[in-house]
Chain A
Amino acid sequence: MIEVRGLSKSFGTLKAVDDLSFEIKEGEVVGFLGPNGAGKSTTIKMLTGYLAPSGGSAKIGGLSTEKDIQAIRQRIGYMPQDIPLYDDMVVIDYLSFIADVREISPGERHGKMRAAAERCGIEKVIAQSIGTLSSGYKQRVGLAQALIHNPDILILDEPTSDLDPNQIVEIRNLIKEIGQEKTVILSSHILSEVQATCGRVLIISEGKLVADGSPEELLAREHRDNIVHVTFQGTELQAGAKAILEIPSVSAVTEKGEGRFIVEAKKGFEVRPDLFHLAVGRNWVILEMRAEQLSLEDVFRKLTMN
């Protein structure tokens, strides 16, 4: 549904997006994850035709963003960062304006506005001026505007950036629900959000694509399952590192002080029983022993910090 090939954007000498290529199939819920300034918003702005690429191409539904952008815009719903709405308008008037632009006929208009309002939970504030709404409600109005014409593709740039934890959960659930029927692209720098809502993650750093896969795939790819953290308590721990190294399945040890060691086992070897036996033999107490668990955050930091 969405094909991006070699997409680049430079602002003067600054290369904001550098040779991005990826494909998104219909029905996928994809997260663009990356640090601030990585180029996520810029990529989205090129997909929606707000910016023209410096190089490469993007196609949505087979239509080129260069030549058929107006046709593309009919099929997408978009909510930019910072939820930019007209503060002086009343919610219902704003939705009516968008419905008008989206060429929803007067007969259908009321029904579709109501459906979008109900879906996004904004019936209570429908008669209020947008400027008086809280960020949570503004975000929902933004979502309603993106959904009102029932587009196939929904593009959301940082949809939960201004929200409190309760509001975040609500919006996330809404996005998950929508993701069951539509293709969704969501951009965020909040890992937990992407992990919770997206089936696939594209990690973008400094304009480049550094990882592409489901959260599980990414964790598996970067996971180092042969690292064990162990904390011993006892006497003569100074000799601890040497003793651990004597275990045949151990390839390296890092001493962290106060009885803590990071043990790297040879690939495929389970080293924890050997550590247990070592502790028993030396009369040490094992205060803690765990295999390293990578979180998506660790993967993210690893890939985006140079």
Chain B
Amino acid sequence: MKPKNFRVVFKREFLSFFNSPTAYIVVTVFLLVAGWMFFQQFFLIGQASLRPLFAFVSILFMFFAPAITMRLVAEERKTKTFSLLLTLPLSNAEIILGKFLAAWALLGVGLLLTVPYAFTVSALGTMDWGPVVGGYLGALLMGGAYLAIGMFCTSLTANQIVAFILGLGMCFVFFILGKVLIFLPEGIATVVEYFSVDYHFQNIARGVIDLRDLVFYISFIAAFLSYSTFAIQSEKWR
């Protein structure tokens, strides 16, 4: 795997987000919804923190991550540009990684544009920046996890809608894992909790960066990206 190669794919894919309405619409809608949700709660709670934002971000990402990734492989299959991409001197892993990083960067742009909220809030009262930094880092990693799921789903189909719905469904499953724990016996509950994407995010959002949470996200992303690579590889052998 050559970094040079996935950088090339990343660059093309990221710029192409901005060639079409995709990036603008996704980021705008995300900011509108996030902004509305945040400020609705913020004045009610009356505390100088970004907790309201981070409380909803896992649900927001569940929708936006598949929306960003849905076209990354599915569209290439539909328009047949895949037959060219896959015959260039690029490995499948480089292609998947490059596309994933472009999606992550776009998500990052969306998150970056919410940073003004932090400055607004800290102007209104004393804000503890620890959880804010933790919250953004956690959100970025959790977003990465959802995007990896989305990458996998788009790798499976030529239909963007299917890629989106499948992605939404799978993200939902991993989100809900953390919420159904009360129904499970003790031993199993701990294991299931570990696989909840939201659980690790809440940990990091508290402001303490635990290696276990980082390891979870990195492995989760690596796993889904390898499934994606495998999914496009298998086309060769059909």
Residue from A51, A70, A84, A88 in contact with B84 in the complex, judged by beta carbons closer than 8 Å: A84
With A and B bound together, what is the CA distance between A51 and B15 in angstroms? 29
B80, A48: Cβ atoms closer than 8 Å: no
- Contact segment of A96-104, A254-262, A273-281: A96-104
Q: Assuming the A-B contacts A45-B83, A50-B236, are A101 and B89 also in contact, with contact meaning beta carbons closer than 8 angstroms in the complex? A: yes
Size category of the binding interface on chain A: 20 to 34
Docked complex: B69-98 residues within 8 A CB-CB of A: 79-84, 86-91
A101, B90: Cβ atoms closer than 8 Å: yes
Residue of A nearest to B80 (CB): A84
Cβ contacts under 8 Å, A89 to chain B: 12, 16, 19
With A and B bound together, what is the CA distance between A73 and B94 in angstroms? 15
Majority-rule SS of B interface residues = helix
Cβ contacts under 8 Å, A100 to chain B: 8, 11
Chain A nearest CB, measured from B174 CB (Å): 32
With A and B bound together, what is the CA distance between A266 and B195 in angstroms? 85
A80, B84: Cβ atoms closer than 8 Å: yes
Docked complex: A153-198 residues within 8 A CB-CB of B: none
The answer to the question of A4 belonging to the interface, with a C-beta cut-off of 8 Å to chain B, is no
Residue from B8, B80, B236 in contact with A97 in the complex, judged by beta carbons closer than 8 Å: B8
A70, B91: Cβ atoms closer than 8 Å: yes
A97, B237: Cβ atoms closer than 8 Å: no
With A and B bound together, what is the CA distance between A87 and B19 in angstroms? 10
Docked complex: A83-125 residues within 8 A CB-CB of B: 84-89, 93, 97-98, 100-103
Cβ contacts under 8 Å, A82 to chain B: 80
Q: How many residues of B contact A (CB 8 A)?
A: 24
Chain A nearest CB, measured from B87 CB (Å): 4
The answer to the question of B238 belonging to the interface, with a C-beta cut-off of 8 Å to chain A, is yes
A74, B81: Cβ atoms closer than 8 Å: no
Cβ contacts under 8 Å, B15 to chain A: 93
With A and B bound together, what is the CA distance between A70 and B93 in angstroms? 13
Cβ contacts under 8 Å, A88 to chain B: 16, 19-20
B81, A85: Cβ atoms closer than 8 Å: yes
Residue of B nearest to A97 (CB): B12
Cβ contacts under 8 Å, A74 to chain B: 89
Chain A nearest CB, measured from B22 CB (Å): 10
With A and B bound together, what is the CA distance between A93 and B15 in angstroms? 10
Docked complex: B8-56 residues within 8 A CB-CB of A: 8, 11-12, 15-16, 19-20
The answer to the question of A32 belonging to the interface, with a C-beta cut-off of 8 Å to chain B, is no
With A and B bound together, what is the CA distance between A131 and B91 in angstroms? 27
What per-residue 1/0 map shows which CB atoms of B52-72 lie under 8 Å from chain A?
000000000000000000000
Chain B nearest CB, measured from A57 CB (Å): 16
Docked complex: B184-238 residues within 8 A CB-CB of A: 236-238
Chain B nearest CB, measured from A142 CB (Å): 9
With A and B bound together, what is the CA distance between A209 and B140 in angstroms? 56
Cβ contacts under 8 Å, B238 to chain A: 11, 51
Known: A11-B238, A74-B89, A86-B12. 11 other contacts (CB 8 A): A52-B236, A70-B91, A78-B87, A79-B84, A80-B83, A84-B82, A84-B84, A85-B84, A98-B88, A100-B11, A101-B8
Provide a sorted-by-A list of 20 A–B residue pairs whose CB atoms are within 8 angstroms: A11-B238, A48-B87, A50-B86, A50-B236, A52-B236, A52-B237, A73-B88, A78-B84, A80-B83, A80-B84, A80-B87, A84-B79, A84-B84, A89-B12, A97-B12, A98-B88, A100-B8, A101-B88, A102-B88, A103-B4
Interface residues, chain A, with chain B CB atoms under 8 Å away = 11, 45, 48-52, 70, 73-74, 78-80, 82, 84-89, 93, 97-98, 100-103
